[in-house]
Amino acid sequence: MNKIKNIEWLIRPNIRSLKPYSTARDEYDGPLGIYLDANESPYENGYNRYPDPHQKILKERISQIKGVSTHAIFIGNGSDEAIDLAYRIFCEPHVDNVVSIAPTYGMYRVAASIHGVEYREVALNDDFSLDEEALLGATDQHTKLLWLCSPNNPTGNSFPREQLRRIIERFLGMVVLDEAYIDFASEPSLLSELEKYPNLIILQTLSKAWGMAGLRLGLAFASPRVVDLFSQVKYPYNINGVAQKWALSQLEQPIEGQIRELKAQRELIIKELRRADSVREVFPSEANFVLVRVDEPQKIYQTLIQAGIIVRDRSQAPGCNGCLRITIGTPAENERLLEVLTQKIDPLCRKQRLATLHRKTGETDITVTLDLNGGGGSIVETGIGFFDHMLMQLPHHSGVKLIVKANGDLYVDEHHTVEDVGITLGEAFHKALGDKRGIERYGYVLPMDESRAMVLVDFGGRAAFEWEVDFGREKIGEMPTELFKHFFKSFSDAARCNLHITARGENEHHKIEAVFKAFARAIKMAMAQNPFVYDLPSSKGII
């Protein structure tokens, strides 16, 4: 039985008596046509009006997904805003304290320091399990918040649900349960039990599994009273209109396949890292990262940096001596990580294969940066949405790092932009491959749903192009289908490669996506370096 019946005594007196800021639109719920209340510009440009301060439409969609009432949902500028608000609402500076586990997410401590609130840590056990009695024993009559993260960051483990329930029931203050990584866990969220516990706040995020880190959207679920307090104390327009719009769009995209792949890749990485000579321990994980104890963590960290891979050094965190935290990436990124950590390839001896090219014509201005050895994020911005989506298949499926920035005369048509991106990208591959000695050189076939694509590539140095792909539509998205052939022909000529592409299928989107994915995989195979071969392979000798 939960001991907390009423949380009013936990709230700071000045917050209980707060008269929150309100707008005229808060006070009127009917249809509106002329807005003369907020001193906005009346000239429509898509951004001239203030966004909905209550995010009503976004909350309705989140309510459907999470199975929680809209009155129990707070949307913040990242989960950090909800963390900050919890201190502002419940903790009297220089009087109250909070209790947390160690190691855990660092912002709990930072926010406590900002607000002048004592922060008490209780160390996890050696296996990162939770000592329930020690945790509750660290509290007193001035402990207003108890911070728990499950799955925990950086350890990756979840705490047993029964243990979490007992802590919530026994603690007389507010329990903040951070479930940022719950989508990757084997056990479900405690959201279904939220109504039982008036002293429970559950944090989640759209940054991890939902892939919206750049939008900065954090979620807090709690009783309607707590959500009202959060809404009263937050700044009025904390979530901008663009973020609300894009979040609604992204929430319609299925993520189950990505989650399955990340979980499978997590188990693969755990299995492979346990074989590495430099790895002492790989801890079980229920998150989208793994914590790894290694010999000489700084040396390995720097080795990874030199290979273009950045991880998080957590060796100074309590109980994490010698530990690196490694986020699960794409299969290609994970493969590169394992190559370095298992010393299949010495990153210090592997030659750089980089190229940055700038091409400016009367119609376009294009910059391409290409790293065939991968490392870091990729960006594609051509102004043609579907073309960007297709080009991003290259780094995802070949493992290269690719940055494409293109400005072209799209107000005329897409032709020049597509052609010049193909030329610049091809030239970048030609430059980055250098003398090509030691590369594998050739091919790939790829099925996708009802479609299949065959891409044969030969980086031997002779340009030739064959295209056997027919489309039944003039456009896919805003991209004219006739330009796909033109793009690949431009690439083949500029890269001085032999490129044959064949595809068939019923769904035009799937068909061309299969082509780009097969193209990326063909490139991955052809540019792969064999450390024991120092010439360019050929049936007729060395080219």
Q: Using one digit for the tens of pLDDT, what is the confidence trace for 394-416? A: 998 888 899 999 998 888 789 99
Whether residue 325 contacts residue 286, with contact meaning beta carbons closer than 8 Å, is answered with no
The reply to whether omega before 51 is within 30° of 0 (cis) is: no
Please check whether residue 395 lies inside any domain of the structure.
Answer: yes
The rounded mean pLDDT for the chain is: 90
Same-domain pairing of 337 and 398: no
* More confident position, 317 or 31: 317
Handedness of CA 531, 281, 181, 184 (dihedral sign): positive
CA distance 158 to 130: 10
Please check whether residue 382 lies inside any domain of the structure.
Answer: yes
Same-domain pairing of 179 and 318: no
Is pLDDT above 80 for 170? Answer: yes
Number of domains in the chain: 3
pLDDT of residue 542: 40
Residue pLDDT, tens place only, 513-543: 999 999 999 988 888 776 544 455 554 444 4
Same-domain pairing of 360 and 463: yes
Residue with tokens 């009346």: 42
> In percent, how much of the chain has pLDDT > 70?
91
Is pLDDT above 60 for 86? Answer: yes
> In percent, how much of the chain has pLDDT > 90?
71
Same-domain pairing of 519 and 466: yes
Pairing of strands 218-221, 97-102: unpaired
CA distance 80 to 96: 20
Across 282-305, average pLDDT: 95
* More confident position, 10 or 3: 10
Across 214-236, average pLDDT: 97
CA distances for 231 relative to 21, 57, 167, 198, 340, angstroms: 10, 16, 27, 17, 48
pLDDT of residue 446: 58
Same-domain pairing of 242 and 267: no
CA distance 16 to 10: 10
pLDDT band, very low/low/confident/very high, at 349 (cuts 50, 70, 90): very low
* More confident position, 247 or 347: 247
End-to-end CA distance of the chain: 78
Whether residue 393 contacts residue 516, with contact meaning beta carbons closer than 8 Å, is answered with yes
Pick from 17-26, 110-119, 183-192, 226-235: least confident: 17-26
pLDDT of residue 26: 77
Same-domain pairing of 126 and 91: yes
Residue pLDDT, tens place only, 59-80: 999 999 999 999 999 999 999 9
Nearest CA-CA partner of 220 in 264, 183, 165, 175: 175
Please check whether residue 536 lies inside any domain of the structure.
Answer: no
Q: Is 284 helix (H, G, I), strand (E, B) or coil?
A: coil
Please check whether residue 421 lies inside any domain of the structure.
Answer: yes
Nearest CA-CA partner of 86 in 144, 170, 16, 14: 144
Same-domain pairing of 287 and 435: no
DSSP at 282: E
Cα–chain-centroid distance for residue 251? 14
Is pLDDT above 50 for 231? Answer: yes
CA distance 153 to 134: 20
Across 329-334, average pLDDT: 88
pLDDT of residue 410: 81
Same-domain pairing of 114 and 188: yes
Same-domain pairing of 196 and 100: yes
pLDDT of residue 449: 66
Residue pLDDT, tens place only, 435-475: 776 666 666 665 656 778 899 998 888 889 999 999 999 99
pLDDT of residue 1: 54
Cα Rg, the chain, nearest whole Å: 27
Same-domain pairing of 422 and 387: yes
- The count of residues in the chain is 543
Across 76-93, average pLDDT: 98
Across 210-233, average pLDDT: 97
Is pLDDT above 90 for 331? Answer: no
CATH number at residue 408: 3.30.230.40
Q: Which domain holds residue 520?
A: 354-527
Q: How many CB atoms lie within 10 A of CB 211?
A: 13
Same-domain pairing of 413 and 333: no
Residue pLDDT, tens place only, 350-381: 566 788 899 999 899 999 999 888 765 789 99
Is pLDDT above 60 for 193? Answer: yes
What does the buried/exposed string (b/e) look like for 327-338 if buried means 16 or more CB atoms within 10 Å of the residue's CB? bbbbbbbbbbbb
Residue 474 has which token pair? 């003039």
To 5 degrees, how large is the angle CA 318–CA 324–CA 330?
Answer: 140
CATH number at residue 291: 3.90.1150.10
Q: From 281, 311, 341, give the residue that closes a domain.
A: 341
Is pLDDT above 90 for 92? Answer: yes
